[in-house]
């Protein structure tokens, strides 16, 4: 049951997945996920990461089982200020930038790296 996903879905909303032809499918409302943070809104292109050939569901949904038909949202385990498992902010930064750095080191293009905060955290225009 392989669905190419790089980044775990990082949503505090319930993550509903649909089985289609034996594969998990990202529902339409989870194809792009946004997170409001103190330094700006992060937009995560979930489907784009899922379509990568170098990842699978467990890359991000590391606690999932092969028989799962629904993926838990990250925030269900990664609470705001928890240490174990690490808080969502820590988990996202480590997993996302870590994977991007690994990909770039392998000679491929990847998303934002550490210390490039504003590439992910976008402040909305002032009204």
At 101, is the secondary structure helix, strand, or coil? Answer: helix
- All domains in the chain, ordered by first residue: 18-122 (3.90.10.10)
**Residue 9 contacts residue 30 (beta carbons within 8 Å):** yes
Q: What is the structure's pLDDT at 42?
A: 92
Q: What is the structure's pLDDT at 1?
A: 32
Per-residue pLDDT of the chain (127 residues; tens, 9 = 90+): 333 332 333 332 333 444 444 567 888 999 999 989 999 999 999 999 888 888 877 788 888 887 888 888 888 888 877 778 898 889 888 888 888 999 999 998 888 888 888 889 999 888 7
Q: Which residues in the chain belong to E strands, given as ranges? A: 18-20, 23-25, 33-37, 40-44, 121-122
Q: What is the structure's pLDDT at 3?
A: 33
DSSP lists the bridge partners of residue 44 as: 33
φ, ψ (nearest 5 deg) of residue 93: -60, -45
């Amino acid at each position: 049951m392989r669905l190419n996903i790089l980044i775990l879905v990082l949503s505090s909303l319930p993550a509903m997945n649909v089985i289609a032809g034996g594969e998990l499918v990202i529902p339409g409302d989870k194809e792009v996920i946004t997170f409001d943070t103190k330094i700006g809104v992060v937009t995560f292109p979930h489907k784009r990461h899922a379509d990568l050939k170098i990842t699978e569901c467990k890359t991000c949904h590391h606690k999932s089982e092969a028989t799962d038909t629904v993926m838990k949202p990250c925030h269900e385990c990664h609470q705001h200020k928890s240490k174990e498992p690490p808080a969502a902010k820590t988990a996202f930064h480590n997993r996302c930038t870590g994977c991007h750095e690994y990909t770039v080191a392998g000679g491929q293009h990847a998303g934002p790296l550490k210390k490039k905060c504003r590439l992910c955290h976008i402040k909305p225009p002032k009204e």
